[in-house]
Amino acid sequence: QVQLRESGPGLVKPSETLSLTCTVSGDSMSTYHWHWIRQSPGKGLEWIGYIYYSGSTSYNPSLNSRVTISIDTSKNQFSLKVASVTAADTATYYCARRVSTGWPFDNWGLGTLVTVSS
Amino acid sequence: DIQMTQSPSTLSASVGDRVTISCRASQSVRSWLAWYQQKPGKSPKLLIYEASRLQSGVPSRFSGSGSGTEFTLTITSLQPDDFATYYCQQYNDYATFGQGTKVDTK
């Protein structure tokens, strides 16, 4: 059974860059799509973007200019960077797996709370 | 982008009740619709995908129906473990979620 676990700082200052890593265990990263999703009281669940194991990416247009997702299959990890954060980026961040387009998110990480505050 | 609207926002029910939650898409998502259950402090759990397909291991009291823009999640006999928040999600175009329906105790 695949397991995903998010890691990274829980506190980020405004205007800085939020950086998180998702470590995948129990399965290969090949052939899957690896996603980031966040949840805040104000905006609910919001899809951020994904990366394919080959390295191709797709981002939510509302966040596109600030988001970068990368992958390191040798470490079974993929990462998220959100630049120029504000209080509106305070949320619980989840990593999740999807088999391909046309499939839902079938495995999620536990989530990690990131607070943007000085 | 496609907007997802759930109703009601909160639903009060008792063990044994039949529960129905609705989800409407702002444009057709065909059958690319999933339902998730989330409990406090936990990540969402996939219940239903492709509008009506039951995820492996999910009890058969959960069912989904609909296509296009109108969808329904039904719990035929509510159990104590089912008190939670439920979300619909379209995956026809990127991915967007409904705002959630909290099922609490009457």
Mean pLDDT by 10 residues, chain B (106 residues): 96 97 98 97 97 97 98 98 98 94 96
Chain A residues close to B56, C-beta within 8 Å: none
Q: Compute φ and ψ for B81, nearest 5 degrees.
A: -75, -10
Measured between alpha carbons, how far is B72 from B79 in angstroms, rounded to an integer? 19
What is the pLDDT at residue B29?
A: 96
pLDDT given at position B52: 98
Q: Residue range A79-85: average pLDDT?
A: 97
Buried b (16+ CB within 10 A) or exposed e, A68-87: ebebeeeebbbbbebeebee
> pLDDT value at position A9?
96
In 10 A of CB A63, how many CB atoms?
17
Q: Per-residue pLDDT for A64 more than 90? A: no
- Residue A82's pLDDT is 98
**Contact assignment for A103 to B49 by CB distance below 8 Å:** yes
Instruction: Band the pLDDT of A27: cuts 50, 70, 90.
Output: confident
Write the pLDDT tens digit of every residue in B54-82: 999 999 999 999 999 999 999 999 999 99
Q: State the pLDDT at residue A68.
A: 97
Contacts A–B by Cβ distance under 8 A? 50
Cβ-nearest to B43 among A61, A94, A102: A94
- Indicate yes or no: CB of A45 within 8 angstroms of CB of B87: yes
Q: Residue B14 has which token pair?
A: 């008792």
Q: CA B106, CA B96: separation in Å to the nearest integer?
A: 30
